Structures are given as structure tokens and as C-alpha cells.
Structure 1
Amino acid sequence: MTSEFKLILVDPIEDLCHEWRQKFARIEAVSVVNGYFEEIAEYDCMVSAGNSFGLMDGGVALAIVRYFGLELMDRVQDYIIQHFRGEQPVGTSFIVSTGHPNHPFLAHTPTMRVPMSIAQTDNVYRAMWATLLAVWHHNQIQKQKIRIIACPGLGTATGRVPFHRAAKHMALAGRGDDPMESLLGSESRLTMVEKESV
């Protein structure tokens, strides 16, 4: 993952945090917090991993709306309507303003089209990679940079992805010193995911 920004992985479930610590052990730009994102004092961008329609009415997405305000969900849905004709594909991510002075950005990154199990898919990898790319692109063109990302477990609740698998796929998306580096390699990242899947 690029050294331009740091990643805080945050979740109240210790078993998931344990898997994160194991899988991200060699990535210095990542830290793990066993708790709630509301307790983190410093981050620039919160990741919301929901559905393709921007319905933030459950789980972490609902907690995000309660923290930042209902206007944030309206902003997310307006973006989806304007840029994706109402349905944001899995494997994409976009950055919007939260209006919060200390945590100014949200990365909306669906892990599923609608609430469903994604345990047998590579959606977690695709979502994590899309998030990192969205932040990277944001930092290339925007004056106000994203330096610290707060990210919950992807696909581990409604998506029913086992903790070890979710952590493995999230870590795979974060490998490398530059987020574009492995796109230039002889072996695709997706192939690597398939080889490491369990």
C-alpha cells in the first residue's frame, strides 16, 4: 500500500482484529484498533462498505449516518444517481465530503449489490483495492489530502465472509509500496487472490 497514507483497521470483534494483525503484520502503514470508529480521534476518511444503492440503514453504515448525519447518506445516494445511474458496481469506490471538520471524507465502497452472503466471492479484495485506488486518485488531484483512512471489516457481517478470509483479501489488496505497482507485474492481483483463497 502506498506510503502516502495510513490505514486504521477498526472493529469491536477481537477475533477479526487478531486476523488483521496476522495478515497485515508486514505492512507498516497499517494499525489495528479493537473498538469503534467513533472512538478514533484522528482520521481523514471513513470507509463505508455497504450496498450498491447507498442504503446506509444497518451495521457500520448506520453508525456512520448517526455519527455524521443523514445528509451524508443523501450525498452518497445523489452521487450514485449522478455517476452510476443509481447502482454503484461492486469493485468501485468514490470519495465524498462528510462535512465534518476533523473527519472530512467518506469512501463509499459497496461489497455487495444487495444484502447477501459474499463468502464465496472475491468482493472483499475488490472493495479494498477500489478503496485504496479511490484514495490514491483523490490525493493526486485534490488539495486536501487523505492521510489516514479508518476502515471496518469488509463483508464480515451481512456478507458472512469468515474473518480469516476477509483479512487475507484485505491484506492482499494492501500489499506493495505503490498501489499501482502490482498492476504492472506479470501476475494479476486477482490470480493471486484465487491462489490464496481458502
Structure 2
Amino acid sequence: MERPAPRIFLASLESALADAWHRHCGDLPGVSVHRGSILDLRVDAVVSPANSFGFMDGGIDAIYLRHFGAGVQERLQSAIRERHHGELLVGAAEIVDTGDPRIPYLVAAPTMRVPMILSETVNAYLAARAALLLARHGDFASGGRVSDSVTSLAFPGLGTGVGGMDFEVCARQVRAAIEQVCHDGKPFPATWLEAQIRHQKLYTDRARDLQQD
């Protein structure tokens, strides 16, 4: 049986990012833009765009850590060690309990292995795709479908803080991920050239041959 896609909330305290969410994602079914703190939402899970090692001491993750308590980082890092061989790579995701009945789960979907600038990367797309795939098709470590417990999922900006990703680029990449996972997006590419062009369109309007300097 097909597992349902979660209801998606795109949150931002910054008006420029909220505007970008509206421009690029506001017309998508099942997607709402929230102008305000992500923690004001009553959702089943929030997305953490943390690093591959689960350190939550910067950006939105530091806000999560203060809100949910140190246990959320401890549980995440334990899951990374036990279920991901010590690294939760960009393009993968993990889910842990928060201990907060208003927002019971945190989905970690790294936008970077370690803190770094993310210009000319597709890391926001990869992180959003990983979070959505986990929410729709994943299973808990203890058993049971994630989709049975996570019917609503809230995203902050992905890579827009430490990573310095442009708000428009982030929103464009998140839209592509939502379309791909939740709305039967583009078909499998027919050639590597088509795949390369699609890849570049996630962060630029000027495609080039990536095999050339």
C-alpha cells in the first residue's frame, strides 16, 4: 500500500526566506508557509539540517537544543553511531524522539558533513529529499512505519545559515525535493547529460560541462 506524504510546513522568521518559500513552493499541494518560529508550529516532526556528526551547537540546531534539551543531541549521536556507522552523510536522514509532546520527533537531514559554505551545491535538495523519504517510506529503529507517526513535517531554511546558501536557491531545491518525493517528479533521466543539466538547474540558470574546468 502506498504510504502517504506528510503535510509540509516551510518556516522562517526572516521575511526574505518566507517570501522565497512562497514564490517557489507556495503553489504545491500539501505545503504551507509559516512566517514565524518553527517551534510555534504543532507538527509531528521538525527537520534539523545539522552536520554528519549530530553536533547541534549552531544555527537552528542550537535553538532546537535549547528547546528540547541536551537529550535530543545525545539520542541523535547515538543513532548515528549505531545505525549509520558513525556518520550521517548528506543525502541520508535519521529520526529521534524529542521528549516534547507538541513536536514529538526530530528528523536530522544534514546539509553538510562539517560546517562549510554550500555555494554551487545541491545539498539543500539532498537534505530535503532524505527527510521526505524517511517521513514517507522509512521505518523506526524500534520497528513501525515513520509515516504512521509523522503526518506533518516542518522545515527551516536548509543551508541558509552557516552554509550561506541563497534563499532563492534553497527554496528552489526544496521544491524539487518535494516534487520528486511527494508528487511523482521528473522521470529518470535518459542520459548523463540530462542528469547533469538537471543537477545544475538546482543552483544556477547557466549550465556548463561539469567535466571541464
**Do the structures match in fold with TM over 0.5?**
yes
Distance in 2 between the 1:87 and 1:101 partners? 28
Q: How many residues were matched structurally? A: 195
Q: 1:150 aligns with which of 139, 147, 154?
A: 154
Structure 1 position 32 matched with structure 2 position 33? yes
Distance in 2 between the 1:137 and 1:143 partners? 7
**1:135-182, Cα deviation, whole Å (9 max, x unpaired):** 012477258421111110000010011111111001111115x53834
Give the conservation status (yes or no) of the 8 Å contact 1:183–1:189. no
- SS of the residue aligned with 1:96? strand
- SS of the residue aligned with 1:174? helix
Distance in 1 between the 2:195 and 2:100 partners? 35
Give 1:17-166 correspondences, 5 Å limit: 17-40=18-41, 42-138=42-138, 141-142=145-146, 144-166=148-170
Structure 1 position 197 matched with structure 2 position 206? no
**1:17-69, Cα deviation, whole Å (9 max, x unpaired):** 101100013202111112112222x2000100010000000111011111111
TM-score by length of 2: 0.83
- SS of the residue aligned with 2:182? coil
Between Structure 1 and Structure 2, whose CA radius of gyration is higher?
2
Aligned to 2:207: none
Distance in 2 between the 1:34 and 1:133 partners? 25
Give the conservation status (yes or no) of the 8 Å contact 2:12–2:157. yes
Instruction: Measure how far apart 1:109 and its partner are.
Output: 0.7
Give the conservation status (yes or no) of the 8 Å contact 2:136–2:146. no
Give the conservation status (yes or no) of the 8 Å contact 1:138–1:145. no
TM-score by length of 1: 0.89
Judged with a 3 Å threshold, the aligned counterparts in structure 2 of structure 1 residues 112 and 143 are, in CA distance, closer, same or farther, namely: closer
Alpha-carbon RMSD across the aligned residues, in angstroms, is 2.3
Distance in 2 between the 1:4 and 1:43 partners? 14
The worse-fitting range, judged by mean Cα deviation, of 62-71 and 184-193 is: 184-193
Instruction: Measure how far apart 1:94 and its partner are.
Output: 1.3
Letter in 1 for 2:110: P
**Structure 2: gaps (5+ residues):** 205-213
Q: Between the two proteins, what is the percent identity of the paired residues?
A: 31
Instruction: Measure how far apart 1:98 and its partner are.
Output: 1.4
Distance in 1 between the 2:117 and 2:25 partners? 24
**Structure 1: gaps (5+ residues):** none
Judged with a 3 Å threshold, the aligned counterparts in structure 2 of structure 1 residues 151 and 142 are, in CA distance, closer, same or farther, namely: closer
Aligned to 2:173: 169
